[in-house]
Amino acid sequence: MMDLTPFIPSMVLILALFALTMLIALYTTFAERKVAAFMQDRIGPNRFGPGGMFQPLADGVKMFLKEEIIPVASNKFLFILGPSIAMVAALMTGVVIPWGDELTLLGVTFPLQITDLNFGLLYIFAVVSIGVYGIMIGGWASNNKFSLLGAIRASSQVISYEIGMGLSIIALLLITGSLSMKEIVEQQHGFNWNIWYQPIGFLIFITCAFAECNRLPFDLPECETELIGGYHTEYSSMKLGFFLFAEYINMFISSAVMSTLYFGGYNFPFMDQLLELTQSQNLVTLVGTVFFFGKIFFFIFFFMWIRWTIPRFRYDQLMNLGWKVLIPLALLNILLTGIGVALFNPSSFGN
């Protein structure tokens, strides 16, 4: 029997992260409706609980109690497999993200990160790209023209923007020299955030993140005016819930990845001064985590803000932007960053 004691912190963290992800995904649906209402000068959901606070719970219960419909023409196994893959893939990515610095509880010091893989960033990309299989399988198994169109659109959109995303990360890696999420965050200590060195890379990355999450202005896979509901046209009950939930979790995770890679993760200005002042690493860690979640929530809000600001792209515009603008721009960014690293950091270069 294997000794499981060293894994107890990570087990607790896994459970906490799972609960937190669910809670945030639930309340993102609520926030989405409230933000939309705010931007359109409406009130939004306000019936259940103070200010509609318990609306997401009602929605969750509704998902459970609705009839599940599996169309006769569909492949039953694949029809169920599609949303399951989307959901599992969405839940798997949070493992490598450092949610905070080290915390000491009951004499045990452990990092607020479930596991620190030395290829953490690659792991995230690998798992995220599995998510598109869920959409593809679901759309294909529905055996509905609209679902299939949505699924094809989704997969070719996601794979097109994955190249731009990968290339924008390469420029970042030239600076960090590491794929470990923890190391990337630690290099951005204090206010030394990567966004100051990689503004173009960040712009490409956030554009691609919008496309990967199928969010407006790139929500062609599920655009209601053309495709009914896109790849989830035939889905009902919790299977529909999983597709929508996976989308919101992906939004949360990509906000976390953006904050980690470009906005310093749990680092915040004057953290050394705070540590000197209070002499408590725990306090600094907690404040850092609060800052991290502040950044994440800002990006989630940004996702919603963009949704009500920019109209939907046409499909040829979407493809042109992905292939003919973002890829050359990302390559140019790599070149500029490469030259920059060689010029401004010659001591560490070439030996």
Partner 1 sequence: MNSDLSSYFPIALQFILAAGFVGLTMFVTHVVGPNLRTRKKLKPFESGINPSGNARQPFAIKYFLTAILFVLFDVEVIFLYPWAINYRELGVYGILTMVIFLGLLLSGFFYIIRKGALDWDQ
323: contact with partner 1 by CB under 8 A: yes
Binding part of the chain for partner 1, among 40-48, 156-164, 217-225, 270-278 by CB under 8 A, reads 156-164
Is residue 181 close enough to count as binding partner 1 by CB under 8 A?
Answer: no
Among 46, 187, 237, 282, binds partner 1 (CB under 8 A): 237
Q: Is 142 in the site for partner 1 (CB under 8 A)?
A: yes
Instruction: Check residue 319 for interaction with partner 1 (CB under 8 A).
Output: yes
Q: Rule CB under 8 A: choose which of 5, 40, 225, 351 binds partner 1.
A: 351
Q: How far is the CB of 305 from partner 1 (least distance, A)?
A: 28
Of 264 and 322, CB closest to partner 1: 322
Nearest Cα to Cα of residue 271 among 195, 212, 186 = 186
Nearer to partner 1, 176 or 255 (CB): 176
77 binds partner 1 (CB under 8 A): no
Select from 144, 188, 207, 255 the one that contacts partner 1 (CB under 8 A): 144
Which among 9-17, 199-207, 270-278, 289-297 is the span making contact with partner 1, rule CB under 8 A? 9-17
Q: Does 186 bind partner 1 (CB under 8 A)?
A: no
**Which listed range, 29-37, 190-198, 272-280, 330-338, lies at the site for partner 1 (CB under 8 A)?**
330-338
- Told to check if 65 binds partner 1 by CB under 8 A, we report yes
Residue 143 lies near partner 1 (rule: CB under 8 A): yes
Q: Does residue 282 bind partner 1 (CB under 8 A)?
A: no
CB 213 → partner 1: shortest distance, Å?
A: 18
Site string for partner 1, 21-60 (x = CB under 8 A): ----------------------------------------
Contact partners, residue 242, CB within 8 Å, separation at least 6: 83, 84, 86, 87
The site string for partner 1 over 91-130 (x = CB under 8 A, - otherwise) reads xx-xx------------------xxxxx---x--------
